[in-house]
Amino acid sequence: MPRLFQVLRALSARELSGLEKYLHSPAFNSREDIQLLLQAYRKIPTGQAAQPEQLWQAVYSGQPFLLRDWRLLLSRTLKQVEGFLVFRQVEEEEALKKLLLAKAYRRLQLTPFFERAIREGHALLQNRECFDSESLHLHYRLEDAYYDYVASHKRQEATNLQEASDCLSHYFMATKLKQACLAHSRHITNQENYRIGMQQAVLEEIAAHPVLLQVPAIAVYYSCYRAVVEGGDEADFQQLRQVMDQYQAGFPNSEMRDIYMLAINYCIRRANTGDEPFVPETLALYRQSLGRGYLLEDGVIPESTFGNIISLALRMKEYDWAEGFTEQFQARLPPAFRQPLYLFSIGKLRYAQQKPTAALRALAKVEAKAPFLYLGAKILQVKIFYETGETDALDSLLASLQAYLRRQKKLGYRRAHYQLFITFSRRLMQLAPYDEKGRQILLDDIRASAGFQEKEWFLLQLE
């Protein structure tokens, strides 16, 4: 499919109407064939593919189809569509418009208007309490534009070089801290390695000048760095929670989603190492971010987020809330996970409600390629088979799980967890009923397995 039609398909009906008005403006477009092409495209029934020859006749009635000219028309139209997208984006960026306006006034040598546009740009960012790193960068660009003017036209006057330097430093430090936090998260979840340059220099600068923590973006990402990357204590985490609550209104939803996920991942890792108070804290963070709309990415809830929320709710025995969440957000899952993750979640819920038959019925329908979903469903089946005495099915399933682990190379730190589960399951299955010594050794080994998430289930079977 040509790029033009891919872009047009992504636009809403309202955006297509806006594009049509844009193309009818002589200020942006003077070619009638581009207007006619869009009109013809909008008449194509939903679900039908665009036919080049039909669209050609709608634009150039009676003329023979020429592939070269058709491609030229598509190219010209795409260029206009991209111009419309840029126009719409700039229209939404009021402070950026002031910067561009200031540059235009300077080019026209209208100094009072230039200075006013610069002031208004700063005021827009300050009045709206925009704390994200991109807003810091825009502050710097406004200061830099003003410095360039003063240095060129008022050489004897003091400049704003200090303000420009401070704004650039604030942007740089906040962005570096943000990148360090994101790099740490990617390393933990995907085993990706990144070298974030100047990281130590930023930390040393903040230590030498604590006043920098008055900059909200630096305060948030520095607190995040201390808690998440450095593995700080509970006081560091509470400091992060405080600045998140204090400054969240000044960050766009997409950035707050990243910040919440960093805090949530910290809590998950603490909870997984046996720090039980972080279990309700994690669920509280999820609920808070759901309520504020941070967790949805373009209307979609990530499958890992969905699964974590269900696990936490069941761990807290909030079964009614878990079922309500599952039903409410199933349609928000990515299509590939919508049915299998829903069934897996129902299976987990029924198991928690001590309904093993209903749980197995749901789990048997789970078809998934994602490791976390496949392994999660199989582990739950292992538990049910053991509890119901289905030893043959249990033995076969454990062998299948071991083979699966050998094939999967990108499980990261979770591999150790799954391997422990298989090892302990086999030892539990092979344990003789009156082997007290063997039972005690297995108990000791399970208790000593730091961070093993299924420890509670095994201890319950043995004690």
Q: What is the pLDDT of residues 177-222, one digit of tens each?
A: 999 999 998 888 778 899 999 999 999 999 999 999 999 999 999 9
Higher pLDDT, 210 or 449: 210
Identify the pLDDT of residue 68.
Answer: 95
Mean pLDDT estimate for the chain: 91
Identify the pLDDT of residue 66.
Answer: 93
SS3 state of residue 279: helix
State mean pLDDT over 6-25: 94
CA quadruple 102, 107, 112, 113: dihedral sign: negative
Q: What share of the chain is helix, strand, coil (3-state, %, to 5)?
A: 75, 0, 25
Give dist(CA 17, CA 25) in Å, integer. 13
Q: Highest mean pLDDT: which of 345-354, 399-408, 435-444?
A: 345-354
pLDDT of residue 154 exceeding 80: no
The alpha carbon of residue 348 and the mean position of all alpha carbons in its chain are separated, in whole angstroms, by: 25
Give dist(CA 18, CA 2) in Å, integer. 21
Please answer whether residues 181 and 203 qualify as being in contact, where contact means their C-beta atoms are separated by less than 8 angstroms. no
pLDDT of residue 455 exceeding 80: yes
- Report CA-CA distances (Å) from 383 to 63, 207, 232, 444: 71, 50, 35, 20
Instruction: Provide the 8-state DSSP code for 332.
Output: G
Identify the pLDDT of residue 440.
Answer: 92
pLDDT of residue 372 exceeding 90: no
Instruction: Provide the 8-state DSSP code for 229.
Output: I
State mean pLDDT over 236-250: 93
SS3 state of residue 290: helix
**DSSP structure string for 87-152:** HHHHHH-HHHHHHHHHHHHHHTT-HHHHHHHHHHHHHHHHHTT--SHHHHHHHHHHHHHHHHHHHH
pLDDT of residue 412 exceeding 80: no
Q: Where residue 14 falls among pLDDT bands split at 50, 70, 90?
A: very high
Each residue's pLDDT tens digit, 253-310: 989 999 999 999 889 888 877 788 889 999 999 999 998 889 888 889 989 889 889 9
pTM of the full structure:
0.76
Identify the pLDDT of residue 195.
Answer: 93
Identify the pLDDT of residue 151.
Answer: 84
SS3 state of residue 198: coil
Give dist(CA 373, CA 403) in Å, integer. 16
Identify the pLDDT of residue 77.
Answer: 96
pLDDT of residue 121 exceeding 90: yes
Give dist(CA 318, CA 298) in Å, integer. 28
Q: Where residue 173 falls among pLDDT bands split at 50, 70, 90?
A: very high
Q: Where residue 48 falls among pLDDT bands split at 50, 70, 90?
A: confident
